[in-house]
Amino acid sequence: MKKLINNPDDIIKEQLEGMQAAHPDLIKVNFEPYYITRAGGPVKGKVALISGGGSGHEPMHGGFVGHGMLHAACPGEVFTSPTPDQMHLAAKAADGGAGVLNIVKNYTGDVMNFEMAAELAMADGIKVQNIVIDDDIAVKDSLYTAGRRGVGSTVLIEKICGAASEEGYDLQSLSALCRTLNQNGRSMGMALTSCITPANGSPSFDIGDDEMEIGIGIHGEPGIQREKIKTVDEIAEMMTVSILEDAAYSRALKEWDFEKNEWVEREIVDEPFKKGDKVIAFVNSMGGTPVSELYGVYRKVAQVTEKFGVKIVRNLIGPYITALEMQGCSITLMKVDDSMIKLWDAPVKTPGLRWGV
């Protein structure tokens, strides 16, 4: 196992110590249990935006805590959802009196843990909503699967909703924005190599020297399909076309109903992309692919979207939602309107994403 680590059992703790040492001006790490809040404490009167998930996807989510993005993040063990107590304490620490919005990637574990956490926080009198992100079009079906996974859209949503919180959106409007952005975003990922989880020590899947996995998630799980490696043009075109041509996607997602005071299932439909749409294009490295190759991917994404009549108005290119040292990439397209673009452009100052300030 080729990793810059000490004992695998200590890596979450030690890497968080490193983050804390590096960014004391931006973040404050709590160690028992793990959660990360902004250095300045809760932001009075603003909805606290919180996310969390397994570790191994850095800079997401801890690296996105700071002005203009998250108020808190909960790191789990590597690729393992964090637990309700972490999320509950993070909510208590980050709540500025205007409630908490949990951004939950759609994995069985994350969803269940965040639901329990929301219940605990609500029992403390904190207003909490959970919005589930499920943008991975590699998963076709929500009837015979746990539904689409939450992947690249999460990063864009954390940025845009973070800016909206700074703007003073209340919990309901922030939740609505978050839900809409999730409906507007679609992603697809692929891997050239498998990652190795530190505790496991060997590759999560075997893959031939001339093979790639299409439709992977971000947890070293095998993808939807195994193929011979193709050229970047073929890969990027196939992925971009799949995203652009993905049909309407309908499924039920749970949200808290503040009137009924219980979880309700909301039927949610993502409409397909259409000519004239403006999008943010996000080309992401899975961790082991260098930015030079991402530009090769972006080149094709730009060509394909243009041909389709979709206009890229902003882009993000780099390793932002990773799967340890996996080689590979993901592509996310998210339809945005002018107000969303303005929120995207707003200042952000976090360890992992920074501009305008």
Partner 1 sequence: MLKKEHVISWLSESFSVLEENRQYLTQLDTAIGDADHGNNMYRGFKKVNEQLPALEGKDIGAVLKAVAMTLISTVGGASGPLYGTFFLQAATKCTGKDELTPQEVSVMFKAGLQGVKMRGKAQPGDKTMIDVLEPATTTLSELVEKGEPLDIAIKEAVSVAMEKLKETIPMIAKKGRASYLGERSKGHQDPGATSSMFILEAFSKAIS
Ligand X SMILES: Nc1ncnc2c1ncn2[C@@H]1O[C@H](COP(=O)(O)OP(=O)(O)O)[C@@H](O)[C@H]1O
Smallest gap from Cβ 314 to partner 1, in A, equals: 30
Q: Choose which of 37, 51, 55, 80 interacts with Mg ion (CB under 5 A).
A: 80
57 is catalytic: yes
Place of tokens 């972490």: 86
- Report which secondary-structure segment, H or E, holds 77: strand 72-78
Q: Choose which of 53, 66, 185, 319 interacts with a copy of itself (CB under 8 A).
A: 319
219 is catalytic: yes
Q: Do 136 and 148 meet the contact criterion of CB atoms below 8 Å apart?
A: yes
The four Cα atoms 198, 204, 208, 213 give a dihedral, to 10 degrees, of -120
Q: Do 142 and 29 meet the contact criterion of CB atoms below 8 Å apart?
A: no
Q: Do 185 and 157 meet the contact criterion of CB atoms below 8 Å apart?
A: yes
**Which of positions 205-264 make contact with a copy of itself (CB under 8 A)?**
209, 212, 229, 231-233, 235-236
Query: Binding to a copy of itself by residue 296, rule CB under 8 A?
Result: yes
Which of 199, 202, 204, 224 is CA-nearest to residue 213?
A: 224
**Which of positions 250-309 make contact with partner 1 (CB under 8 A)?**
none
CA 345/CA 342 separation, integer angstroms? 5
Q: Which is nearer to Mg ion, 80 or 194 (CB)?
A: 80
Smallest gap from Cβ 9 to partner 1, in A, equals: 9
Q: Which is nearer to partner 1, 222 or 318 (CB)?
A: 222
Query: Binding to partner 1 by residue 146, rule CB under 8 A?
Result: yes
- Chain contacts with ligand X (rule: CB under 6 A): 80-81, 108-109
Query: Binding to partner 1 by residue 57, rule CB under 8 A?
Result: no
Q: Which is nearer to ligand X, 33 or 96 (CB)?
A: 33
Here's the x/- map for a copy of itself, 27-66, by CB under 8 A: it reads as ----------------------------xx-xx---x---
**Which of positions 84-143 make contact with partner 1 (CB under 8 A)?**
84-86, 107-109, 112-113, 115-116, 138-139
Smallest gap from Cβ 151 to a copy of itself, in A, equals: 16
The CA–CA distances, whole Å, from 48 to 41, 253, 353 equal 11, 21, 18
116 binds, among ligand X, Mg ion, partner 1, none (CB under 5 to 8 A by kind): partner 1
Strand order in the sheet with 185-191: 225-228, 211-214, 185-191, 328-335, 278-285, 311-318
Which of 78, 87, 150 is CA-nearest to residue 116?
A: 87
Which of 189, 152, 196, 199 is CA-nearest to residue 325?
A: 196
Which of 251, 249, 242 is CA-nearest to residue 333?
A: 242
Query: Which entry of 23, 67, 88, 219 is annotated as an active-site residue?
Result: 219
Residue of closest CB approach to ligand X: 109
Q: Choose which of 217, 287, 319, 351 interacts with partner 1 (CB under 8 A).
A: 217
Q: Which is nearer to partner 1, 119 or 170 (CB)?
A: 119
Query: Which entry of 23, 57, 71, 88 is annotated as an active-site residue?
Result: 57
Query: Binding to a copy of itself by residue 292, rule CB under 8 A?
Result: yes
Neighbours of 14 (CB within 10 A): 12
- Report which secondary-structure segment, H or E, holds 348: strand 348-349
Q: Which is nearer to partner 1, 86 or 182 (CB)?
A: 86
Active site residues: 57, 219
